[in-house]
A and B are shown apart, each in its own frame.
Chain A
Amino acid sequence: SLRVMAALERALRAAAAELCQAAEGAAAALGAVRAALAEAGGPAALGERERALYGAFLRGLARAPPAARPEGLWQSCFLEGPPGLALGALLEALASPGPNIRLGEVVAVLEQFLQEGQISALMWDVCQQQAQAGSPELQEALLNKVVCLPDHVSNKLQGNPPPVFFPQNYFPFLGGAIIQVLQKISESLRGGLDCSISFVSHVLGKVCVQGRQKEILSVLVPHLTDLTKSDCIWQRICWRLVECVPDRWMEAVVLGFVQTAPGADVLSRLLGNLVVKNKKAQFVVTQKVLLLQYGHTTAVLQNLLGYLSLDSLRRPLLIKVLQELLETWGSSSAVKHSPPEQQQYISKAILICLSHLKEPEIESCRQGLLTSMMEGVKCHLDSNLPQIRRLGMIVAESISSKINTDGPVLKFQVKVIMKFVSGVLRGNFKPKPVGNIQSLPWWEDFDDDLMPYDMSEDKELKTKAPVYIRDCIEGRRCKISVSVELAKILLHLEEKTCIEGFLELRQRAQVAVLTTDPIPVAKYLTSQFYALNYSLRQRMDILDVLVLAAQELSYPKSRGKTTRPGAQKPCIQPLPGSDSSKGWRRIVDERIKSKTRRFSQVELASGPNEFSSVAGHFFFPLIQHFDRPLTTFDLLGEDHFVLGRLVHTLATLMYLAVNTVAVTAMGKALLEFVWALRFHTDPYVRQGLLSCISSTLLSVPTECLLEDVTEELLETQSWLGGKMRGSICQRLSG
């Protein structure tokens, strides 16, 4: 063998000499090198000294003058030599062009180099050397060359490389090469030989961190899925492959696997207990993907949480994750400040976690679940955004049904639950059906082919209102005492009897009382708005009634006709049941909508505005006391929802007071009020403030605006014009 190596060394030196002289003998010299290499037993057999010589020879070869490049022979010297050296020599030639280097030729050899599988040979080479502790710098250099090959080539060729060097082609190709190397590793392990996988892991890691997870894993994952199905050596190889990825690239690799794996079981097979062994991976899986990011699909969540649930070593992590998710879900700050999409993401994750929990595990953390549910549901229901409230209800219902196996279960009547839950869980988790499905009458079980139409609108007709109330209101003599008395009764009237549309009827009655005798009743109602011991509901009733009555009074055609059908007005909405905060929101939304519409059609029908003489009585008492908290009612504190309603009510009253005497004074007061609240944290309140400003600008005559309200106007302008504008308008438009 020594003799053979000596012969190779001689041949290499001779060839190097020939190349320098660009002599005719180059072909013969290269032939001799090939023969000597073949006799030595191929590139794998070379020792360190021979490798160094061969490297120098290849570098020389790449720069050889055209005369010393016998066609075919020249290329095969690169393809047959040690692949690492060949790649190094070729890339070096590519990087530092000289007079004799033709880019096209070099790239053609590189292409051939790829096609003949030399990349996998290269990686396998390194794996073997690694087992004998090869130099880390050399490996780092090789790693760069392998992973960045497309960049090197395309940088040189100015965007016109052969297709194999396109990233979308190269990285799948590299995936295939990795599979080949892993095959060899598996064979060598089975043969009892040791070899290191870490170079392959580095390649994988570096590719992933460069953002090419999809390309490389789309090849790797299906193959590995298949190979690990029943082979424990392959499983260990796969686990090792991921474990050996350096921490700095771990996130990219784990994310790539989670996104590519077709299911949690496959993911569990491919990653093994990585999350338990590797801190970085654990952080990524249990914190980063779930709590810090929210752009992943539901399938990713299912993969990830399913993976955690599939091994007893990982299940504690699942419970820990659930607790952390619930902590975020139940944090009022998170509910207020994180985007709805993220909250939906977290809710999905919670539902999936819940579906994986087993009875004993629930037992162990029931109390904790209950506590976080109670906290979470509270701050979700406080939210102004309907979808957040709905999410809160959905999650709370699911938790409650999971932890209360025998006790009472929390129940909101949310119709979207089924859709949402089944969408998220795809059959993992069977919630009880929500909503009331009526049992079918016996004779519908086997009836003919006639499909019934929707008959839900088939309700009892309303009966006429009792006559004596109207008589009472119309009886002018006792009007004053009666009207306030009636208003008082109506405000406190509860639905004790079974009357269809009770709330709407009550509201209409209140409006009727108020419009019949505006001043004393408005005085009474506005004083009650700030009085002790009313429910929020009653206070909001008062606001509603004031707005509706103002509308009716200011609407010229409505008066005189006493029996105007209330249902046809866009503004009067029947109030839903007192327990439904969702309905409140809906009404508010619709009212805002209806108002917005009215703003655009500025013109009001002419005629005496009956609101004009009483507008002040509606308006000023309401605006006076907002900053004086009572024991049961704190507008500037936690009752900001009512504050929001109040602000909107004031905006509407302001708008309806157009052309009235008091309008300038009202506008002044309102702008002051707006100024006081301009930094309120609740967007609904701020939105109301903006509509206050708009209605002031619409209602107060221009000359009065400029004369009497100048200062307030300038303040408002500076507020709107200032840096707040961007954020407010964004929030409103967003």
Chain B
Amino acid sequence: MALPPPDPQFVLRGTSAAVHTLHFSCGGQEPDVPILFSGSQNGFIHVWNLKTHRVDTTLDGHGRKSVYCVETMGGKNRLLSQGRDQRICLWDLAEGRASVTDSVFTENVGFCRCSLLKVAQGRWLMAMAAKALEEVQVLELPSKTSVCTLKPEVGAKLGMPMCLKLWQVSCGSQPLLLAGYEDGSVVLWNLSMGKASSQLGCHQEPVMSLDFDSEKAKGISGSSEKVLSIWSLNEQQNLQVYKTHKLVNAGISDITIRPDKKILATAGWDHRIRIFGWKKLKPLAVLDYHTAMVHCVSFSDHTDLSERLLAAGSKDHRISIWSIYT
């Protein structure tokens, strides 16, 4: 008899709004405390101290408009956040400061989270949905210079980009972008040529989230349908369907593969978090705690692997923290 699924290790309450994005920063050495950033619908970013389980700081930089993406840029003191005020803010949090040092006006009205990739020391690439509905723009940070604008071919009818993932095979190699679109297809963009190198129709409905494992050249995407789609990238840089996995309930709002590529977690519209083995997509657990749609799932970056955590943020204003398969 299989064990009953575990309960959350603890639950963070007090955002007083639906939680849309989560990001851990736990890799620091003592005396740094592990931290979780959460962005919520009321425009606040909460900095949670994972030792005390309390909010250390609350950041207000998006005009009370929903914050739907939070990332750190090399350590917990530099933060990037994206909100529905069409701005991407860069924060300086060092020494107790909480100020926006720079911001990018995206002019995009969608919900597409930006994607960040460190390409060199102090240099990042950021992909984001641009002003024109179908376009994706890639900027270099912190200089904010535009690297390229990725436009689908005329008549491709991909719709808006829904989710983005910047990646590179290894450090220093050519950065690539995977983008999921409104029509259910996933497109691989070559940044240096500014052209789509492969396109795969993965879903019938808009792609809500995707994640990619560059080691295995395999990715996974979820949509509002009842299936997860797993696809791979062959040596000719062509995307092809690997398999699909049928879900019990429709709707996936977020997918994350754990950094060690062992398991992945999905955030479901059915209020449940699902854990799968990444190797064979073996269903491992269904974590049923939330009472409303789960918006985001995130794995921590603890250096001690046994402390690793999974966090899930939900429309029910709660963030559940789980310790599973550590």
* Interface residues, chain A, with chain B CB atoms under 8 Å away: 443-444, 447-448, 450-455, 457-461
Q: Is the CB of A453 within 8 A of B4?
A: yes
**CB < 8 Å: which of B271, B279, B283 contacts A452?**
B283
Contacts of A459 in B (CB 8 A): 248
- Shortest A183–chain B CB gap in Å is 56
- A452-B284, A454-B5, A455-B286 given; A447·B248 CB < 8 A: no
Instruction: Judge if B157 is at the interface, Cβ distance under 8 Å.
Output: no
- Shortest A193–chain B CB gap in Å is 67
Q: Is the CB of B285 within 8 A of A452?
A: yes
Distance, CA A444 to CA B283, complexed state (A): 9
**CB < 8 Å: which of B274, B280, B288 contacts A444?**
B280
- Shortest A141–chain B CB gap in Å is 66
Contacts of B248 in A (CB 8 A): 458-460
Chain B 267-282 per-residue mask, 1 if CB under 8 angstroms from chain A, else 0: 0001110100101111
Contacts of B2 in A (CB 8 A): 451-455
Instruction: Judge if B1 is at the interface, Cβ distance under 8 Å.
Output: yes
Q: Is the CB of A460 within 8 A of B249?
A: yes
Contacts of A460 in B (CB 8 A): 248-249, 270
- Shortest A108–chain B CB gap in Å is 66
Q: Is the CB of A447 within 8 A of B285?
A: no
Instruction: Judge if B325 is at the interface, Cβ distance under 8 Å.
Output: yes
Instruction: Judge if B239 is at the interface, Cβ distance under 8 Å.
Output: no
- Closest Cβ neighbor of A455 among chain B residues: B286
- Shortest B289–chain A CB gap in Å is 12
- Closest Cβ neighbor of A442 among chain B residues: B280
Instruction: Judge if B64 is at the interface, Cβ distance under 8 Å.
Output: no
Count contacts between A and B, CB distance < 8 Å.
61
Q: Is the CB of A443 within 8 A of B280?
A: yes
- A448-B277, A450-B262 given; A457·B282 CB < 8 A: no
Q: Is the CB of A450 within 8 A of B325?
A: yes
Contacts of A443 in B (CB 8 A): 280-282
Q: Is the CB of B249 within 8 A of A448?
A: no
Contacts of B279 in A (CB 8 A): 447-448
Known: A450-B263, A454-B5, A457-B288; 18 extra A-B contacts, CB below 8 A, are A443-B280, A443-B282, A444-B282, A447-B279, A447-B282, A450-B284, A450-B325, A451-B2, A451-B284, A452-B284, A453-B6, A453-B286, A455-B283, A455-B285, A458-B274, A460-B270, A461-B249, A461-B271
Q: Is the CB of B286 within 8 A of A447?
A: no
- Shortest A451–chain B CB gap in Å is 7
Q: Is the CB of B277 within 8 A of A450?
A: yes
Distance, CA A460 to CA B279, complexed state (A): 26
Distance, CA A453 to CA B6, complexed state (A): 8
Distance, CA A457 to CA B4, complexed state (A): 9
Distance, CA A38 to CA B24, complexed state (A): 105
- Shortest B95–chain A CB gap in Å is 42
- Closest Cβ neighbor of B272 among chain A residues: A458
Distance, CA A454 to CA B286, complexed state (A): 8
Distance, CA A458 to CA B286, complexed state (A): 7
Chain B contacts with A in 133-182, Cβ cutoff 8 A? none
Contacts of A457 in B (CB 8 A): 5, 286, 288
Distance, CA A460 to CA B286, complexed state (A): 12
Contacts of B3 in A (CB 8 A): 451, 453-454
Distance, CA A444 to CA B286, complexed state (A): 17
Contacts of B281 in A (CB 8 A): 443
- Shortest A563–chain B CB gap in Å is 15
- A458-B272, A459-B248 given; A453·B5 CB < 8 A: yes
Q: Is the CB of A454 within 8 A of B1?
A: yes
Contacts of B249 in A (CB 8 A): 460-461
- Closest Cβ neighbor of B284 among chain A residues: A452
Which secondary structure dominates chain B's binding surface?
A: loop
Contact-residue bracket for chain B: 20 to 34
Distance, CA A444 to CA B277, complexed state (A): 10
Distance, CA A458 to CA B6, complexed state (A): 14
Q: Is the CB of A452 within 8 A of B282?
A: yes
Distance, CA A458 to CA B2, complexed state (A): 14
Chain B 244-259 per-residue mask, 1 if CB under 8 angstroms from chain A, else 0: 0000110000000000
7 A-B pairs in the complex with CB atoms less than 8 angstroms apart: A447-B279, A450-B325, A454-B1, A455-B2, A458-B288, A460-B248, A461-B249
- Closest Cβ neighbor of A456 among chain B residues: B2
- Closest Cβ neighbor of A452 among chain B residues: B284
Chain B contacts with A in 186-216, Cβ cutoff 8 A? none
- A452-B284, A458-B286, A460-B248 given; A447·B6 CB < 8 A: no
- Shortest A442–chain B CB gap in Å is 9
- Closest Cβ neighbor of B274 among chain A residues: A458
- Shortest B326–chain A CB gap in Å is 11
A-B pairs, 7 with minimum CB distance: A454-B2, A453-B285, A443-B280, A458-B286, A453-B5, A452-B284, A455-B286
Contacts of A450 in B (CB 8 A): 262-263, 277, 282, 284, 325
- Shortest B224–chain A CB gap in Å is 14
Distance, CA A450 to CA B6, complexed state (A): 14
Contacts of A451 in B (CB 8 A): 2-3, 284
Distance, CA A455 to CA B281, complexed state (A): 15
Chain B contacts with A in 1-35, Cβ cutoff 8 A? 1-6
Distance, CA A460 to CA B250, complexed state (A): 9
Contacts of B271 in A (CB 8 A): 461
Contacts of B286 in A (CB 8 A): 453, 455, 457-458
Q: Is the CB of A447 within 8 A of B277?
A: yes
- Closest Cβ neighbor of A444 among chain B residues: B282
Distance, CA A265 to CA B173, complexed state (A): 78
Distance, CA A30 to CA B288, complexed state (A): 98
Contacts of B284 in A (CB 8 A): 450-453
Distance, CA A443 to CA B262, complexed state (A): 15
Contacts of B283 in A (CB 8 A): 452, 455
Residue picked from B4, B274, B280, B283, most chain A C-beta under 10 Å: B280
Distance, CA A18 to CA B280, complexed state (A): 106
Contacts of B270 in A (CB 8 A): 460-461
Contacts of B272 in A (CB 8 A): 458
Distance, CA A460 to CA B226, complexed state (A): 11
Distance, CA A444 to CA B6, complexed state (A): 22
Distance, CA A450 to CA B275, complexed state (A): 11
Distance, CA A436 to CA B4, complexed state (A): 19
Distance, CA A443 to CA B249, complexed state (A): 22
- Shortest B206–chain A CB gap in Å is 21
- A452-B285, A458-B248 given; A447·B4 CB < 8 A: no
Distance, CA A453 to CA B286, complexed state (A): 8
- Shortest B265–chain A CB gap in Å is 13
Contacts of B263 in A (CB 8 A): 450
Distance, CA A93 to CA B262, complexed state (A): 90
- Shortest A105–chain B CB gap in Å is 70
Distance, CA A83 to CA B318, complexed state (A): 94
Distance, CA A450 to CA B279, complexed state (A): 11
Chain B contacts with A in 78-128, Cβ cutoff 8 A? none
- Shortest B270–chain A CB gap in Å is 5
Distance, CA A444 to CA B284, complexed state (A): 11
- Shortest A657–chain B CB gap in Å is 37
Distance, CA A450 to CA B271, complexed state (A): 24
Distance, CA A376 to CA B281, complexed state (A): 50
Distance, CA A627 to CA B2, complexed state (A): 52
Chain B 217-257 per-residue mask, 1 if CB under 8 angstroms from chain A, else 0: 00000000000000000000000000000001100000000
- Shortest B247–chain A CB gap in Å is 9
Distance, CA A448 to CA B284, complexed state (A): 11
Q: Is the CB of B5 within 8 A of A447?
A: no
Distance, CA A459 to CA B5, complexed state (A): 14
Distance, CA A295 to CA B283, complexed state (A): 49
- Shortest A446–chain B CB gap in Å is 8
- Shortest A98–chain B CB gap in Å is 77
Distance, CA A448 to CA B3, complexed state (A): 17
- Shortest B251–chain A CB gap in Å is 10
- Closest Cβ neighbor of B282 among chain A residues: A447
